[in-house]
Amino acid sequence: MIRRTATGPLPLTRAQTLALLLLLCTHSALLAYGAWVHSPAWDEVGHFAAGLSHWQTGQYEFYRVNPPLVRMWATLPISFAIPKITVAASAEIERPEFVAGPALIRALGPTRTQWAFAIARWFCIPFSLIGALVCFHWARQMFGTASGFIALWAWCFDPNILANAQMITPDTAAASFGVLACYSFWRYLTSPSTPLACIVGMLTGLALLTKATWVCLAVIYPLMWSLVCIPHRIRPVELSRTLRDALLSAAISLLVLNMGYRFDGSGTQVKHLDFKSHLLTSQGENRFANSLLGDVYLPLPAQFVLGIDRQKMDFESNFISYLRGEWKSGGWWYYYLYGLGVKTPVATLMLCTWATFALVRYAFRTTPGPATRHVLAALSPGVFLLCFVSAQTGFSHHLRYVLPAFPSLFLLLSLLGHRWTQRAFTSRVAVVALLTLGATESVYHYPHSLSFYNVLVGGPDNGHEHMLDSNTEWGQDLYFLREWLRENPQARPCYSVHFGILDAQDLGCPTAGWPPPGYAVDDSVDLRTIGPLPGWYAIGVTALHGDSRPDRDFLLRQGVPLCGYFRFFEPVDRVGYSILIYHLTPETVNPVRRQLGLPTVAWSQ
């Protein structure tokens, strides 16, 4: 497909090497800045506490729904300078990491918290660089150097990558190690060898240590193998070697996985595991306790298995989810497709459409053979992962769950660089222009990439009308709120309502106490004290949609306020794209109170 030397693609020229380094340095600089200016997001608080707990106690109960590699790596440089976690995991505390995390941050104080999280986040930047380099190298091997730079550019400036790679959550690392594992297996299919099978096993184990989603590699690898190998006759000796290498690779991946947990609970009998999901329990008890399967010794860490069970229980719980103004119990099968449509730059969507047609044309115009099959095998992990995650409709909260599928999207885009020098000049200009426009739309809204939405849906200003939670507001803008309040001393007292696990005061925000005026904590209150009241308010966009949730009691238990009446007012300013600033006066409040059927108020400063 491309010109090759005896060992692979032609070496990069000096100009190409400089361009590669410039893109990687730019990407790193963006992540480093975002890591400093953003306050700890919801899940980050739990991962931070869990990582420190792993180092301090050698136990892995904290945040068991995700494997420990990323959070342990992130907290490694600060693990000896942070106070010891005092909250212990117990049956009474469902998620101990979310109890220990806020307590730890209160103990550290605002300044030390900002430095600790920044250092932990900076330590995770190499994860994103690994993913960028793998996408570049894989695309370059398939289609040429121009394609490699297209994939690299797409990774470095994609708003979803930028948003998640600057945090200590595992999604970007999962995307990076997942694509690295799939690439190594693709290389094995190209030139099978036992040493390469060992590398596949090692990288598979590392992928599993980033996120349990990669258990689907047990299906992805056979799928890739069938696309490449089944169309031609397989000799018995080749099949025998493949099976031998598969067993060796599986054994190595299990070893790496167990080493990541320091063999904590490895070899536990199935009957001794405290399962919670309906799938693995019967009448509240381990369904295998009295069966032959219960006597099996699992070659997996106990907390890895229990984490998968806990995640399954979450999906079975049918949590309340939000999409386009609708709250409902459970989720939508098309949630992630919709999220990709609204949280990807418009120019990138246009490139995806173009690349899809190019893929169809490439498949039909290329003589069926190894080239076409290898391309389809390279794209299959992302397609399968997207389908696999979309099938989990117990709840729909986070587009980041499909972030490990993004490398396949970037490889698809890289097809537009195939035979770059033979393309018409207008085609090359169009590709470069669309790549530039996509990067511009993304960087224009940086560092607020977590709240990014494309211009088709009105941009980030209108994003909360479409999706919430980690797609829009995750507590990430409290440092920006702190700076806004310092620059606007007239906005006192300012009451803050946001969707996050931390109190604004814990991060140094000079906000007033809780609850704010007008917030109904129950139904037995004086109507004159609820609803809109004069004052200054910093309202997270999630609170604007709280009133429409079907289960008000659930809402209050989760601490999500009922502040939908702020939609009757125009904000005077905004902090990032997740917090709106309101200044309500008696002249603006009383007409709305009358409209809501509430008594008017007289207000004197």
CA pair distance 45, 68, nearest whole angstrom: 14
Could you check whether the bond before residue 170 is cis, i.e. omega within 30 degrees of 0?
Answer: no
pLDDT band at 528 (very low <50, low <70, confident <90, very high): low
**pLDDT value at residue 303:** 93
**pLDDT value at residue 88:** 64
Residue-wise pLDDT for 272-308, tens only, equals 898 888 888 888 888 888 888 888 999 999 999 999 9
**pLDDT value at residue 370:** 58
212 near 263, Cβ under 8 Å?
Answer: no
If you search the block for the tokens 């389809």, which residue do you land on? 376
**C-beta neighbour count of 143 within 10 angstroms:** 26
**Among candidate residues 359, 356, 371, the one with its CA nearest the CA of residue 227:** 371
Provide mean pLDDT across the span 76-84: 84
CB proximity list for 198: less than 8 A, separation 6 or greater? 248, 249, 252
Residue-wise pLDDT for 231-267, tens only, equals 666 777 778 888 999 999 999 999 999 999 999 989 9
Lowest mean pLDDT among 94-103, 244-253, 365-374: 365-374
**pLDDT value at residue 547:** 55
pLDDT surpassing 80 at residue 83: no
∠ at Cα 216 (214, 218), nearest 5°? 110
CA pair distance 397, 342, nearest whole angstrom: 15
CA pair distance 547, 543, nearest whole angstrom: 8
Provide mean pLDDT across the span 360-369: 68
If you search the block for the tokens 């709840």, which residue do you land on? 395
Compute φ and ψ for 4, nearest 5 degrees.
-135, 150
**pLDDT value at residue 529:** 64
Between strands 326-329 and 494-497, the pairing is: unpaired
**pLDDT value at residue 365:** 67
Lowest mean pLDDT among 25-34, 166-175, 482-491, 552-561: 552-561
**pLDDT value at residue 595:** 82
Total-model pTM: 0.92
If you search the block for the tokens 């990687």, which residue do you land on? 24
208 near 67, Cβ under 8 Å?
Answer: yes
- Bridge partners of residue 269, in order along the sequence: 297
